[in-house]
Amino acid sequence: MHNSKIAVLSDFDGTITICNVLNSLYEKFAAPSYREALERWNRGEISTMEEIETVFATVSASRAEMESFLDTFELDLGLPNLLIYCREAGIKFVIVSDGLRWYIEYIMRHHGIQEVAVYACEIHFERGGYRFSYPWFDSTTPMRSVSKSTIVRDYQSRGYKVVFIGDGVSDFEAAQVADIVYARDVLLDYTNDQGIQAREFSDMRDIIGDLKKLA
Ligand SMILES: [Mg+2]
C-alpha cells in the first residue's frame, strides 16, 4: 500500500461516540413510540428517512434544548490523536453517517474539533418543526439515508485505498466494498457471518498503530 493515497471513512454514532447520539436524542425528546420505529428499522422494514421523519414528528424540543443535551456526549479517547496522525501523514479522514450533520458537527466543535468533512443527513430547523434532506442518498442503498458504499466507491475511483470504521447496520454495505474494515458490535458479527475480512477494534487508538504500518 506504499505510495498510495489513503482515506479513512468513519461512522459516527457508536463509533466516534461511545453511545448512539441519534437514539439518545429520541429517548430524551421523542414519544415512546420511537422504540417501535427503531425496531422496524432494525428489521429492515422502514428506511432511515422514514425512521427519522416518523420519530421527529413527535419531538417538540427547541434546537437549543437539544444542543444543551449534546454537550453531555463524549468522543472516542483516541480520536484527537488519530486526527493529528492523519493530518501529518497526509491521510484523508472523513465522517460518513446515517444520522444528522447538525449534531455531529456540534459535538465535534464542543470538543474543539473542526475541519472534518461530514457526509450525513441535513436537518432544517423551521418554525413549528423540522424538515430533512438527504444529499448523500443513492438508490443502490434505498434503505439508507446516506449511501456509505457509494461514498467508499467514489473515493476508490479517485485513487484512494479506503479504510472504513463502523459498528452498525448502516455500515453493512460499506464494509462489503472498503479495502480495509475496522468493526465492532453488530458490524463485527455481520462481517464474520459474511466472511468479510475485518479487524476488531475497541477504540481509535487501536487504529493509529495499524495505519502507521500502511502509510
Ligand atoms: Mg454506528
Q: What average pLDDT score do residues 130-157 get?
A: 98
Q: What was the pLDDT predicted at 101?
A: 98
Q: Is 29's pLDDT higher than 90?
A: yes
Per-residue pLDDT band for 6 (boundaries 50, 70, 90) equals: very high
Q: How far apart are CA 91 and CA 207, in angstroms?
A: 13
Q: What average pLDDT score do residues 1-29 get?
A: 91
Instruction: List CB contacts of 17: < 8 A, sequence separation 6 or more.
Output: 73, 74, 75, 76, 107
Per-residue pLDDT band for 10 (boundaries 50, 70, 90) equals: very high
Q: Return the C-alpha cell found at 177.
A: 466494498
Which 8-state DSSP code applies to residue 162?
E
Length of the chain: 215
Query: By the 8 A CB rule, do 124 and 133 touch?
Result: yes
Q: What average pLDDT score do residues 169-181 get?
A: 97
Ligand 1 center to 158 CA (angstroms): 25
Ligand 1 center to 178 CA (angstroms): 16
Q: Is 185's pLDDT higher than 70?
A: yes
Ligand 1 center to 11 CA (angstroms): 6
Ligand 1 center to 62 CA (angstroms): 25
Per-residue pLDDT band for 1 (boundaries 50, 70, 90) equals: very low
Ligand 1 center to 124 CA (angstroms): 22
Report the percent of the chain where pLDDT is more than 90. Answer: 93
Ligand 1 center to 127 CA (angstroms): 30
Q: What average pLDDT score do residues 119-147 get?
A: 96
Ligand 1 center to 97 CA (angstroms): 8
- Per-residue buried b or exposed e for 199-208, using 16+ beta carbons within 10 Å of the residue's own CB: bebeebebbb
Q: What was the pLDDT predicted at 209?
A: 87
Ligand 1 center to 18 CA (angstroms): 9
Q: What was the pLDDT predicted at 128?
A: 82
Q: Is 187's pLDDT higher than 90?
A: yes
Q: Is 156's pLDDT higher than 90?
A: yes
Q: Return the C-alpha cell found at 206.
A: 487501536
Weakest mean pLDDT among 2-6, 110-114, 127-131 = 2-6
Of 162, 142, 143, nearest to 152 by C-alpha is: 162
Q: Is 207's pLDDT higher than 90?
A: yes
Ligand 1 center to 38 CA (angstroms): 14
Ligand 1 center to 99 CA (angstroms): 9
Ligand 1 center to 142 CA (angstroms): 18
What domains are defined for the chain?
5-19+75-214 (3.40.50.1000)
Ligand 1 center to 85 CA (angstroms): 23
β-sheet bridge partners, residue 180 = 163
Residue 153 Cα distances to 2, 134, 175, 197, 212, angstroms: 20, 18, 11, 18, 23
Q: List pLDDT tens digits, range 50-107.
A: 999 999 999 999 999 999 999 999 999 999 999 999 999 999 999 999 999 999 999 9
Q: What was the pLDDT predicted at 215?
A: 67
Q: How far apart are CA 180 and CA 77, in angstroms?
A: 22
Instruction: List CB contacts of 127: < 8 A, sequence separation 6 or more.
Output: none
Ligand 1 center to 187 CA (angstroms): 9
Ligand 1 center to 3 CA (angstroms): 30
Which residue matches cell numbers 479517485? 158
Q: What was the pLDDT predicted at 213?
A: 85
Ligand 1 center to 12 CA (angstroms): 6
Q: What is the pTM of this model?
A: 0.96
Residue 174 Cα distances to 45, 159, 162, 184, 208, angstroms: 20, 17, 10, 14, 21
